[in-house]
Amino acid sequence: MLKEFKLVDVSSLDTPRTPASVNWELCVICQDRKAERLIYPAASKRHDGGAGYKSLADNLLAFNELGKVLGVNIEGLDEGEGIERTLTTRQAKWHKSCQVRYDNL
pLDDT in tens, 1-24: 566 666 656 555 554 444 458 999
Beta bridge partners of 38: 95
- Is 73:22 a contact under the CB 8 Å cutoff? yes
pLDDT in tens, 18-62: 445 899 999 999 999 999 999 998 877 666 666 889 999 999 999
pLDDT of residue 76: 92
Confidence grade of residue 79 (pLDDT, cut at 50, 70, 90): very high
Phi, psi of 37 (to 5 degrees): -65, 145
More confident residue, 14 or 72: 72
Rounded to an integer, what distance in angstroms lies between the CA atom of residue 64 and that of residue 70?
9
Rounded to an integer, what distance in angstroms lies between the CA atom of residue 78 and that of residue 83?
4
